[in-house]
Structure 1
Amino acid sequence: MLLLLLLLVAALVAAGVIALYVAYPHRGEEMPVAPRVGTAMKQAADAIPVLEDDEVQAARRS
């Protein structure tokens, strides 16, 4: 039961972080209460590799 509760809390925390990212840094705005957290989120999102359109098309063909 404790494991289930911990998993639910972890899911809620993850959902909250995603909601905060979509609400502020993704739109280019600073978070009003904790701007450092928004900056860290933006840096983490920029560090993730992204497929370009031509790479997506090449992956679909193969």
Structure 2
Amino acid sequence: MLFVAFAVLLSLVVSGVVVLYVAYPHRGESLPLAPWLGDAMARAVDAAPVIEDEERDLLRMQ
């Protein structure tokens, strides 16, 4: 039962972070109560690998 409660709590936290990212830093705005969190999310997104258009086209051709 504790595992299920922990899994639900973890999924709520992750979904909350995604909602906050889409609502503020993704649009170029800072978070009103925690600007440091928006900066950290923006840095994490910049560091994440991205599939470029050319690579995506090559994957579709295979």
- Give, in whole Å, the separation in 2 of the partners of 1:45 and 1:18: 12
Residue-by-residue CA offset, 1:14-56 (whole Å, 9 max, x unaligned): 0100000000000000000000000000000010111111110
- Give, in whole Å, the separation in 2 of the partners of 1:11 and 1:54: 34
Unaligned 5+ runs, structure 1 = none
Q: Secondary structure at the match of 1:7?
A: helix
Unaligned 5+ runs, structure 2 = none
Instruction: Please give the TM-score of this superposition, normalised by the length of structure 2.
Output: 0.96
Q: Which residue of 2 aligns with 1:56?
A: 56
Q: Which residue of 2 aligns with 1:12?
A: 12
Q: Which runs of 4+ in 1 moved over 6 A?
A: none
Cα RMSD of the aligned pairs, angstroms, is: 0.6
Question: Percent of aligned pairs with the same residue?
Answer: 50
Spell out the pairing of 1:19-58 with structure 2 (5 A cutoff). 19-58=19-58
Larger mean Cα displacement after TM superposition, 46-55 or 34-43: 46-55
